[in-house]
Amino acid sequence: MPTRRQPAQSATTNADPKAAPNARAAGGRRASAKPDVRGVGPRGRISADDPRVTLEQEIGSDLYEPIPPFPIKTEREGEFYSLRDGEIFLNIGPHHPATHGVLRLVLKLSGEQIVDVDPVIGYLHRGVEKICENSDYYHVIDQVDPLEYLSSLFQEWPAVMAFEKLMDVEVPRRAEYIRVLTGELLRISSHTLYMGFMALDLGGLTPILYSFIERDEIVEMLASITGARMLFNYYRIGGVNGDLNHEFMSRLGDWMSRAGKQAEAITALLNENEIFLRRMRDVGTMDRATALRYGVTGANIRACGVPFDLRRAHPYSVYPEIDFNIPTREEGDSLARYLMRVDEIKESIRIIDQCLHQMPDGPIMAKLPRLLRPRPGRAWAAVEAPRGSLGVYAMSDGTDQPFRFRIHDPSFMHLGVVPHMLPGNLLADTMAIVSSLDPVMGGVDR
Amino acid sequence: MTALMRTMETVRGRVAAAVRSYAWDHLTLAERVVYLAGPVLLLGLGFAAVFGYWAGGPVVDFVAGRLGIVRFFVSVTAILLLTVPTAFVIIYMELKVIARMNLRVGPNRVGPFGAVMSVIHGLKVLSKEDFAPTGVDLGVFTLAPLITFLASVMTLLVVPFAPALVGQDLNIGLLYFFALGGLTVVGLLMAGWASFNKYSLLGGLRSAAQIVSYEIPLTLSVVGVIILAGTMSLNHIVAAQSGSALDWFVFKQPLAALIFFIAATAEANRTPFDMTEADSEIVAGFATEYSGMRFGFFFFAEYVNVFIVSALTATLFFGGWTAPFDSPVHVNLNWFDPFSISAPVWGAIVLSVLWFGTLFLALVVRLLGGRSWGVIDSLALGGLLLVLGLAGLIGLAAFISIDWIRDLSWFMAKTYVFVFTFVWMRATLPRVRIDQLMGFAWKWLLPASLLNLFVTATAVVLLNR
């Protein structure tokens, strides 16, 4: 989208959806007369989206119509931004109670029914990947930390893994076990929070507060070794920053003694609730082929019956030494995606239990120089984050800064399926579908 | 001479200064109001006294000749005044009860246990700017909250709080209730349309669809009760349930009671049927563009609605103001004639009870509380305890022996049980979807209420033959 808009020639009310792109393509100049008044289109439309609309101008009833990105670049855009009889646009977001951050969904509605949807992202874009290319290897961890803000350890993990591959660093086994242990704890925290927000988006007020109890216990636990509750900044290239301590172990033991029961209590409020089940069942069904084509990963693809889990498919860290199941479900609807998280919590508790039993003694950091200068090369590392496979591609040119740094975020891939799942559903299903995919906008926009 | 003149000058200067400082220009707004209102009030009082002396008889005759209208105005005023504390109590209940169910503390800063929180909320909306966004249809936008509020408040007119405590004992009380209750949707629709906002529009349309659909099972479920009671006057319906708890219509019309409660939940826009203000979908529905006292009216109307549907559930199916069982204790207050004792003796009795009671209780506090309770503290607490105790005793005596207080207490207790149920549901249940909501009304509630009506009518015909 160009930063500075031309005088608004809106295709919103064009009868022929293809007129605008064609006119643009034909001569490079618009056929319609150039409007005199700034901000007023050829049909007298004024839009608040136009930066040159001033307060003195009289505002018509079209004020809140979204105008398309101008000039219209694709046929799809032209088709979307033309309304048929009885249809309206509804702009959900970027600030809306149910969009989990700054996701903007431009819905085309016919009554309550969704006809079409255009997800707009980028409201949280800060160019983190570029910032990472300008900071040295140690500082990359701080930069990527806040992207996946609900489970920030998982954002650090692939980054440090990629750098370890670049530098051929052998990570001590104890450090790997600590990574798995803390990661799985955070996975539970993230999934519990997901269940609460799922209920909140469907109108249930209480489960979110029960979720936060669980999350609070876990982040307090992690705070005792990392010093932070949300952005931990804990994994290091070649190990972790700080060993497990007494406070962590006592909190963990305390929590483990009731973890299973507590998760049950949270879900009991929802899983046996007929209203909740009816809102979730057969809503936003994603079939296997679509899921595979769009690169859906994590719990969302396992809910479609594909047992794909990076911890098994491309084993990393110490996961080969740990025994756990990969739960799958066949339905592929919102309820299946929700129940997948419930199942994964149980598996994570098992993994934590095994970690505690198998954890060896030893160092937690590899010996590394102060200034990291890996040989030129490239590395790809991916982990199974709570939202799916989270990957990092790093390229070194021999200096102390990564030459290229790219993040593959699962939430971004999942949002791509939203336009295919929403049409035909009702407005209220938007929340059941988008929330069940569990996007985190920090990771999407980067 | 000069000294005298100097003194005179000084005095004149002071007087002038005094006059200047109290001059009209230097008064604050409040002082001006007082200076103006004082004489006006005095004049008015005097005029009223003269007028009353001169035309008292005719005025009394005039009022007596139109007792119906006078009663109407008085009861409407009382009901309007009643809505304020009712809404405050229910809002406080909602804050506190939902907080406890969420394992939170809830408001605990303003007043004892945060009890004044809802009053503060009320003052807050009152003090906000009266704001209307660009593009709204200002007339409709302004009228909408008033219509919604008045429509809900006016339905209280026929609710019998006690046999004599009823605004208007209409013989078509239930019809009146449904007619005015249906007006609420007009206000919501107006708000949705006039707000110039698509979320509001969707909310307004949802409320129209929802309330119109649920009116039908709501009304049909009550017909069984009307057949059984043989009247539409709410007071007579309650009287038909008097006796013990087994005479309540909920035992004769259990299905109707269930349908009524579900439909009433939808009618009051409460969870799980709060489609009109589904915050995770359409932000705040029809109220999205409202703020300040305009929003306050919607807010009040919602909680008054909760009270009304709870009151009506209690009235129609749970015996209203009738006691569920006969009181085991009967106290007859007539054995004692308060006028047989002269005023000075009364004064002595009251003073001595207050004085010695306070002293006694203060002593108890001081003995039990230890050294941390000083003389003043224990006296204050003793006095407080005495007043509370006396109030409790008098209340208990009134409850046992004065009919309308007892009836009112039972009515309020039953009503607030249902209010609590509404709050409880809000804390527990997620929201249904609009198509499920409509499907439920037309596919399940409507046939069920028709079936209930059919069975009731058949039974009445067969048994009365």
Q: What is the mean pLDDT of residues B65-81?
A: 85
Q: How far apart are CA A44 and CA A58, in angstroms?
A: 11
In angstroms, the separation between the Cα of residue A337 and the nearest Cα of chain B is: 18
Neighbours of B242 (CB within 10 A): 14
Listed in sequence order, the residues at least 6 apart from B157 whose beta carbon sits closer than 8 Å to its beta carbon are B75, B76, B79, B167, B168, B176
Residue B318 is classified by DSSP as S
**Is residue A122 one of the residues assigned to a domain?**
no
- Please indicate, yes or no, whether residues A266 and A148 belong to a single structural domain of this protein: yes
Region of poorest pLDDT, from B61-75, B191-205, B327-341: B327-341
Number of other residues whose CB lies within 10 A of the CB of residue A83: 17
Residue A303 covered by a domain: yes
Pick the last residue of a domain from A82, A114, A139.
Answer: A82
Q: A242 and A155 share a domain?
A: yes
Q: Does B104 touch chain A (CB under 8 A)?
A: yes
Interface of A with B in 182-211 (CB under 8 A): 199-206, 209-210
Last residue of one domain, picked from the residues A23, A55, A82: A82
In this structure, the answer to whether residues A323 and A440 fall within a common structural domain is yes
Check residue A66 and give its pLDDT.
Answer: 54
Chain A residue nearest residue B278, CA to CA? A203
CB contact under 8 A, B429 and A213: no
Distance in angstroms (rounded) separating the CA atoms of residues B189 and B201: 8
Q: Which helix (H) or strand (E) holds A214?
A: helix A207-226
For residue B229, the surrounding DSSP H or E stretch is helix B198-229
Domain ranges (residues) in chain B: 122-326+431-464, 333-401
Kindly give, in sequence order, each residue whose CB lies less than 8 Å from that of residue B213, ignoring residues fewer than 6 positions away.
Answer: B266, B437, B438, B441, B442
DSSP single-letter state for residue A362: S
Cβ contact, residue pair A269, B429, below 8 Å: no
Residue A72 sits in the same domain as residue A141:
no
Q: Which tens digit of pLDDT belongs to each residue from B223-265? A: 988 988 888 888 888 888 887 778 888 888 889 999 999 998 9
- In this predicted model, what pLDDT tens digit does every residue of B194-225 receive, in sequence order? 888 888 888 888 888 888 888 899 999 999 88
- Convert the pLDDT of each residue in B261-301 to its tens digit: 999 898 888 878 887 777 777 888 888 888 888 888 888 88
Q: Give the closest-approach CA distance of B161 to chain A in angstroms.
A: 33
Question: Do A202 and A351 reside in the same domain of the chain?
Answer: yes
Residue A110 lies in a domain: no
Residue A51 to chain B, least CA–CA distance (Å):
18
Task: Say yes or no: A315 and A418 in one domain.
Answer: yes
b/e per residue A129-147 (b: at least 16 CB within 10 A): bebbbebebeebbebbbbb
Smallest Cα distance from A111 to chain B, Å: 8
Interface of B with A in 223-252 (CB under 8 A): none
pLDDT score recorded for residue A70: 57
The reply to whether A69 falls in a domain is: yes
Question: Does the pLDDT at position B333 exceed 80?
Answer: no
Compute the average pLDDT of residues B113-117: 84
Q: Do B428 and A88 touch (CB under 8 A)?
A: no
Within the 242-301 window of chain B, which residues sit less than 8 Å (CB to CB) from chain A? 271-272, 274, 278-283
Q: What is the mean pLDDT of chain B?
A: 84
Q: What is the mean pLDDT of residues B313-334?
A: 78
The closest CB to that of A97, out of B198, B280, B434, belongs to: B280
A116, part of any domain: no
pLDDT at B1: 61
Tokens 């003195």 — which residue?
Answer: A56
**Backbone dihedral angles phi then psi of residue A46, each to the nearest 5 degrees:** -120, 140
Whether A345 and A414 map to the same domain: the answer is: yes
Q: Which residues of A touch B437 (CB under 8 A)?
A: none
Across the interface, whether the CB atoms of A204 and B432 are under 8 A apart is answered no
Q: In the prediction, which pLDDT does B248 show?
A: 87
Residue B97's closest chain A neighbor by CA?
A206
Within a domain: residue A384? yes
How far is B247 from B257, CA to CA, in rounded Å?
14
Q: How far is B431 from chain A (nearest CA, A)?
A: 5
Buried/exposed code over A9-31 (b: 16+ C-beta within 10 A; e: otherwise): bbbbebeebebbbebbeeeeebe
Please report, as a single letter, which amino acid is at residue A135.
Answer: S
Is residue A89 situated within a structural domain?
Answer: no
Nearest CA in chain A to B429: A204
CB contact under 8 A, A96 and B196: no
The percent of residues in chain B predicted with pLDDT above 90, rounded, is 13
Give the domain-ending residue among A44, A63, A82.
Answer: A82
When CB atoms are compared, the residue of A88, A203, A206 closest to B431 is A203
What pLDDT is recorded for position B2?
75
Q: Indicate yes or no: CB of B429 within 8 angstroms of CB of A199.
A: no
Q: A-contacting residues of B 424-463, CB under 8 Å?
A: 426-436
- Same domain? For A68 and A161 the reply is no
Residue B447 scores a pLDDT above 90: yes
**Closest chain A residue by Cα to residue B98:** A206
From chain B residues 192-211, the ones with a CB under 8 A of any chain A CB are: 196-199, 202, 206
Residue B80: both structure tokens together: 């309007």
Question: If you measure CA to CA, which chain A residue comes closest to B281?
Answer: A428
Which residue in chain A has the smallest CA separation from B206? A112
Q: Which of A59, A90, A428 sits opposite B433 (nearest CB)?
A: A428
pLDDT in tens, B357-416: 888 888 888 888 777 777 777 888 888 888 888 888 888 877 777 777 888 888 999 999
Q: For each of chain A's 446 residues, which pLDDT tens digit applies?
A: 334 434 444 444 444 444 444 433 433 334 444 444 444 444 455 555 555 555 545 555 455 555 555 566 777 777 777 777 778 888 887 888 777 778 888 888 888 889 888 888 888 888 899 999 999 888 898 889 888 888 889 999 999 999 999 888 889 999 999 999 999 999 999 999 898 888 888 888 888 888 888 899 999 999 999 988 888 889 989 889 888 899 999 999 988 888 877 777 777 777 888 888 888 888 888 888 888 999 899 899 999 988 888 988 888 889 999 999 999 998 888 999 998 998 898 899 999 999 999 999 989 898 888 888 888 889 999 999 999 899 999 999 888 889 999 999 999 999 889 888 888 888 888 888 988 988 888 888 88
A206 CB neighbours in chain B (<8 A) are 98, 101-102, 427-428
Does residue A88 sit at the B interface (CB-CB below 8 Å)?
yes
Residue B417 pLDDT class (50, 70, 90 cuts): very high
Chain A residues touching residue B197 (CB < 8 angstroms): 64
A205 with B98: Cβ contact below 8 A: yes
Chain B contact set for A270 (CB, 8 A): 430
- What is the reported pTM? 0.78
Q: Average pLDDT, stretch B315-344?
A: 77
Q: Are residues A153 and A59 in the same domain?
A: no
Residues B102, A211 contacting (CB under 8 angstroms)? no
- ipTM exceeding 0.85? no
Answer whether B429 sits within 8 Å of A275, measured CB to CB: yes
Of B198, B206, B436, nearest to A278 by CB-CB distance is: B436
Residue A208 lies in a domain: yes
CB B88 within 8 A of CB B258: no
Beta carbons of A203 and B430 less than 8 Å apart:
yes
The bridge status of strand A388-396 relative to strand A402-408 is: antiparallel
Domain coverage including residue A207: 128-445
Length of chain B: 465
Substitution target in B433, B435, B438, B444 with the highest count of A β-carbons within 10 Å is B433
Q: Are A136 and A78 found together in one domain?
A: no
The number of domains in chain A is 2
